[in-house]
Amino acid sequence: MIHWTPFQPVPKANEIADALATLPSHWSLTPLWEKRPYREGWQTEPFIPHEEIAAILRQGEERISKRTGHPYRAFCSGYGLRLGDVSGGLLAVDIDGSSAQDVLTALAETSLPETVSWTSGKPGRRQLLYQISDSYREQLQCFRRKTITQWEGVTANPGELLELRYNQHQSVLPPSFHRDTGEYYWLISPEEINIAIAPAWLCEFLLRQCDSSPRKTAAPVSRIRSFSGEVSGNHPLSTLLEQATGNLRTEQIYYWPGHQFQESGSTWRGYCPRHQSQSGTAFTLNPQTGEWYCFGCETGGGAIQYRHFLQGGNGNPRGQTFRSLVHQLATEAGVDSDSFPPQHHQTYQPTDVINQPYFHWETPREGTMLAVKSSLGSGKTTWLAKVVSELREEGWLALGHRNSLLLQSCQRWGLIHLQTEQAFDLINVPDSQLALCVDSLHHFSPEAFAGKNIILDEAIAIVSHLLTGETLKQKREEIIQRFRQALQQAKRVICLDGMLTDWCVNYLHELAGTERPLVKVENCYQGMPLHIKCLQESCDETGKGKRNDRSPLLEQLWQSQKPVICTDSQLEAEALDQLLAETGKQGWRIDSKTISQPQIQTFLKAPDDCIKTDCPDYLIYTPAAEAGIDISIENYFSDQFCLFFGVLQTNAQVQMMSRVRDPKLTRWLWCSCYGQLNQPPTRFQLRESLTEAINTFILKTGTSLLEGKDTSAVVEQFVKEVTAAAQEIHHQTFCILQAIAHYEQSHLWDCLYQALVKAGHHVELISLETSPEAKQKEKSAKEAVKHSNAEAIYYGNCRQGKQAASLHRLLRKQLPGIEQTSCWGPQFIKRVVYDDRDFIAKQERFWLIHHPDLAQDMMPSAWYSGIGQHLQQQWSLIQALIALDLPLLLNLETTWTHDSPQLQRLQQTLQERDLASVLKLNPDSSAPIPLFRELLRLIGVKLTRKNGRYRINAAAWYERDRLAILACLDRRWHTQSFTNLSSFISQTH
């Protein structure tokens, strides 16, 4: 089967267009999307010159999306012959299956004469073309179509029929595209033979169809029955769906342009998007109830089932698909809900709106701030290069979050990269033109920013890095202060982002000074949409669907001639690089390990030039490089494969996919259902509730620790300081970032799907057969990479990148003396870094609940830990475990059952003391043993069962690696002070 969408030319577009010259010039044709005419009123529109259809095949035509209102370019897949009077009285006899030929033989009074004929290439399928003589044409003006499945005892097989088509119908002509066979073929072309005159018996048969009295049929609405979705009643999804459909007109919900609805009593009738319906009445819609039914497909429902039907599904969508479709309708309706993505944090209210293929705006005036939202690939940075050139005599600072992006920007804007060029002597030069990561702002004095023009490209990523970036842990406060000073003293501030939002602009404007004039521009131009095949699930040999199986896409990857791969998994990137290299291909991998290599640095500065020069067989890039890549070369790569494992958030995923600009590229997408949170997501997903949760945590913790130890004045001062910090713009913006992050991590697949649809891209949900062979190849390659990397970490090998040496030092710092134990080696490192990433953290929790006094000594540093969100979550977890007195239950000789009084008291304590939410447990629905097992899992202890009774697994308790880590923690925490909370939280994971 050949996949095609109207957003790209069909594989043999030029051949199909050239074939138009061989057709009779008077034949009236209509362009098609596969078998379907798509132009409104195609049955009655004026004659279309054949040259115009050829142009649509080759170059496409501009159309307006009924759903989004945005323009897009669409191509046709071929053309159909408009039958009946419009083409001089042509009749098509469609023999759809070998048994349909038997029906025709029974119907025919004499043999049909040889005539022009063609086939789709499928067995038993062909069409015959006949000319209705002038003596019958006037009488047959009322005839449109007749289907016959039985005649005089001869019955066609199910799914096969004989069809006679005339006025207001069409037949697809060769060599138009066919999804299953590739194209239609002439059996006898019009160049070989003249069209035969239809025999009299056939014309008389058609006349009898015109004279037949119309049969009464039951009201179609009776076949339209209510289909319930996955949820009902007071469920938030049900409420959101009701609000969304209530805000949309019927035409907006049932938006497929090919329906071409006609009123028929109280219902609308039209074409079906899933099967060829020559009558145009198979699809029936009741506009009063919003319910539909297709008589050909024998399925129906409401809005949600319709959207599922358009995507190739049948019946009621379930789970993730259902949620995604509800979100899609809500987005189109402009409906927001506290239970769904915080979309008010994705809004952007511009002061000026433009619609330009390539962004252009006047040079910002001195003393102003300009915010620009314009889609990826719309020329924002090219426009900015002209502004920099125009103001070449002035000082410039381009601030970013990744040096890879800044290196490419330096090439475009003519700036000097601070670190790469070691240009520190230019910091205090007023007209210097520098680019640097915000991490380097501590090199600047406040006076060095005076009079500079500040560029913030990828503004959202910069703000996110500023407030949550791991590399700023120890110097975040100083860097934020320098960042504020830079914006306040800037001559101009220019921030750009393809997904710019109000919260981001508001934060930057607050730092720059709200008295500074602000101009917010949005370029609404919608470029060529991407065609994305999104793997919804794979199916095994039993037909069972699997949501997280990406093996079908890996199978496609092996077959791709020149693939470009983007992934947010370092391990996946290395494994795919190894597998592709084993096939003899030579390509590039751009990630944290390779990005410092001279060849990769050269590539980042001029990607298109390097590709043209070196002609790589494949390209793999990860988040370490994605913000620095802008690949505009077309017709080079054959496919793009996007594999997202939950490391990136939605905006970053969309941007990463779009770094390869070629609109004709086929893009294959797999995304994990959920993100990889370092800690389980909180219940809070909106800024206000999350702010309240953090503040409540701080206040409760402070009170519990200080009560009885210090005076109330200390508590009061603590509360004042924390409250003041919470009111700062930094804290508020951080809470917005966290609210968005927590929602997206919990609904990763949904959010990405909705973002792509909202951006106007064509997303096709696909289901493919699983590939055990591809899965095994990937697994073996990953294991080999893990072993190799573990050895590099063990030896602190800098040749494999700074990461190996850094992890070597970090592990020895976290586990003092581990290198002197017998467990220290590549296998141990593989276990704690890859196979069981939470292994060290579990032993840390075990150690801390056995030393509660030391744990409480560590706690004061959590009060002022700033924006270290994971530290606060970890402490809440440890505090809850201490409150449960778990050490009293850790006796290897004790046996347990569901009726054990101690476990029942444990369950009761969880319920009464509101600890279950912190520990992510549900004591109401869990039996005592499963609840106990989950608590033990958090501290690295296991249960074993024998004869219906449970006890602590002694083998796991005395396991060598575990005991070695606990001994290291003894050395670490009995010798350290606890002024810094991060000293006790494992950062390996």
Report whether the peptide linkage leading into residue 517 is cis, meaning its omega lies within 30 degrees of zero: no
Q: Residue 721: pLDDT band by 50, 70, 90 thresholds?
A: low
- Going by C-alpha positions, the residue among 17, 13, 69, 1 that lies closest to residue 664 is 13
Contact 90, 195 (CB under 8 A): yes
- Please, are residues 628 and 402 in contact by the beta-carbon 8 Å criterion? yes
Any residues with CB less than 8 A from the CB of 180 and at least 6 apart, and which? 1, 2, 120, 121, 122
CB-CB neighbours of 528 under 10 Å: 17
Q: Are 29 and 81 in contact (CB under 8 A)?
A: yes
Contact 918, 680 (CB under 8 A): no
Query: Which residues have C-beta within 8 Å of that of residue 117, sequence separation ≥ 6?
Result: 126, 127, 128, 129, 186, 187, 188
Q: Which residue shows structure tokens 């319920």? A: 911
Tell me: pLDDT of 681 over 80. Answer: no
> What's the mean pLDDT in 375-387?
89
Q: What pLDDT band is residue 474 in, cutting at 50, 70 and 90?
A: confident
Task: Report d(CA 957, CA 963) in Å as an integer.
Answer: 8
Mean pLDDT score, 540-559: 84
- Rounded Cα–Cα distance for residues 720 and 979 (Å): 21
Confidence grade of residue 566 (pLDDT, cut at 50, 70, 90): very high
Place of tokens 């160049």: 191
C-alpha to C-alpha distance for 922 and 854, rounded to whole angstroms = 29
Inter-residue contact 113 to 188 (CB < 8 Å): no
Q: How far apart are CA 345 and CA 741, in angstroms?
A: 11
Domains assigned to the chain: 13-80 (no CATH), 83-211 (3.30.2250), 220-256+268-340 (3.90.580.10), 352-523 (3.40.50.300), 531-674+760-769 (3.40.50.300), 687-744 (no CATH), 836-983 (no CATH)
Percent of the chain with pLDDT over 90: 45
Return the half-sphere exposure (C-beta side, CA atoms, 13 A cut-off) of residue 180.
Answer: 7
Q: How far is CA 285 from CA 195, 224, 545, in A?
A: 40, 8, 31
Is 60 exceeded by the pLDDT of residue 607?
yes
* CA-to-CA dists, residue 255 to 203, 258, 335, 499, angstroms: 39, 9, 18, 26
Residue 199 near residue 131, CB atoms below 8 Å: no
d(CA 116, CA 47): 22
Cα–Cα distance between 801 and 796 in angstroms, integer? 10
Report the distance separating Cα 381 and Cα 496, nearest Å. Answer: 9
Structure token digits, residue 625:
């490089």
Distances (CA, A) of 705 to 97, 359, 681, 710, 711: 82, 57, 26, 9, 12
Going by pLDDT thresholds of 50, 70 and 90, the confidence category of residue 953 is very high
End-to-end CA distance of the chain: 44
**pLDDT, averaged across the chain:** 83
CA dihedral 684, 685, 688, 689 (to 10 degrees): -10
Confidence label for 976 from pLDDT (cuts 50, 70 and 90): low
Higher pLDDT pick, 763 / 687: 763
pLDDT of residue 236: 58
* Strands 531-539 vs 949-952: parallel, antiparallel or unpaired: unpaired
Residues 6+ apart with CB under 8 A from 437: 399, 400, 401, 402, 403, 406, 419
Q: Which residues of 291-312 are buried (b: 16+ CB within 10 A; e: fewer)?
A: bbbbbebebbbbbbbbbbbebe
Residues near 258 by beta carbon (within 8 Å), at least 6 away in sequence: 33, 36, 37, 38, 270, 271, 273
Is 641's pLDDT higher than 90?
Answer: yes
pTM over the 0.85 mark:
no
Encode pLDDT of 162-219 as tens digits: 999 999 999 999 999 998 889 999 999 999 999 999 999 999 999 888 754 333 333 3
Residue 630, pLDDT > 60, answer yes
Q: 896: which DSSP letter?
A: B
Residue 825 has pLDDT above 90, yes or no: yes
Give the SS3 label for residue 949. strand
Please, which residues have CB within 8 angstroms of residue 820's CB and are 6 or more apart in sequence?
none
pLDDT digit string, tens, across residues 878-919: 888 888 888 999 999 999 998 899 998 888 888 777 677 777
pLDDT score at 983 = 39
Read off the pLDDT of residues 855-885 as tens digits, 9 standing for 90 and up: 776 654 444 333 344 555 567 788 888 888 8
Task: Express each pLDDT in 486-540 by its tens digit.
Answer: 999 999 999 999 889 999 999 999 999 999 999 999 998 877 888 999 998 888 7
